[in-house]
Chains A and B, each alone.
Chain A
């Protein structure tokens, strides 16, 4: 398994600003993922972050809006850029511990409110 922490746990931001969310894993992992959970909804995958390569974005999400970094095997960041109230969501980081398992472990999430 993996223990995942996220910072900040919550934030309230003004429209037009950007927020960077950090995700730290307690062990080296092959793949990290960023999800969005809008109020009362299920989870939607934003992108997959691989170390040493650019993130792979899902349909409807673009790098300019959600730039992602993955500088090493235990850390990733997601930036929510030029925020609007529609970006108010919980953002969750997850990780897959090896290429031999498809189980993903999740962080506690970052609750973002955009005014």
Chain B
């Protein structure tokens, strides 16, 4: 079945450091891929998405490229800030024949950025 494997956390970085959070997926067909972010005490917010191979999603300085050949969607940011401290979830959306779709989430990676 469809699944997402995400880099284990927690990750602690100094401000302005480079961030990579690895995400690989298993899916039949051609899923859409997402990164969601959950700030402390809040719900999930969509950070970025990509719907087909070689698409690059980007938002707030974060980027991720849909790599079909390596079934990956790694999240990167060139210079993290303290305000980026949150839990990051990689997810994929299947496409069921009924037109419904389900989101499969990774386990989440907690990022802490220290000044």
Contacts and interface: CB of A to CB of B under 8 A. Distances in A.
Contact of A102 (B95, B105, B108): B95
B40 interface: no
Given A31-B100, A48-B100, A103 B107 contact: no
A109 B46 CA distance: 14
Contacts of B93: 102, 104
Interface in A26-58: 31, 33, 41-43, 45, 48, 56, 58
Given A42-B107, A103-B34, A92 B44 contact: yes
B22 interface: no
Given A41-B107, A102-B32, A108 B89 contact: no
Contacts of A48: 100, 102
B101 A102 contact: yes
Between B34, B36, B42, B105, the greatest number of chain A beta carbons within 10 A of the residue's beta carbon is seen for B105
Majority DSSP secondary structure for residues of A touching B: strand
Interface string B15-57: 0000000000000000010101000001111100101000000
Contacts of A107: 43
Between B42, B44, B106, the greatest number of chain A beta carbons within 10 A of the residue's beta carbon is seen for B44
Interface string A92-115: 101010010011111111000000
Interface residues of B, number: 22
A45 B102 contact: yes
Contact of A108 (B34, B42, B99, B103): B42
Nearest to B44: A106
Interface in B58-101: 89, 93, 95, 99-101
A104 B43 CA distance: 12
Given A42-B89, A109-B43, A104 B107 contact: no
A71 B3 CA distance: 32
Interface of B: 32, 34, 36, 42-46, 49, 51, 89, 93, 95, 99-103, 105-108
Interface of A: 6, 31, 33, 41-43, 45, 48, 56, 58, 92, 94, 96, 99, 102-109
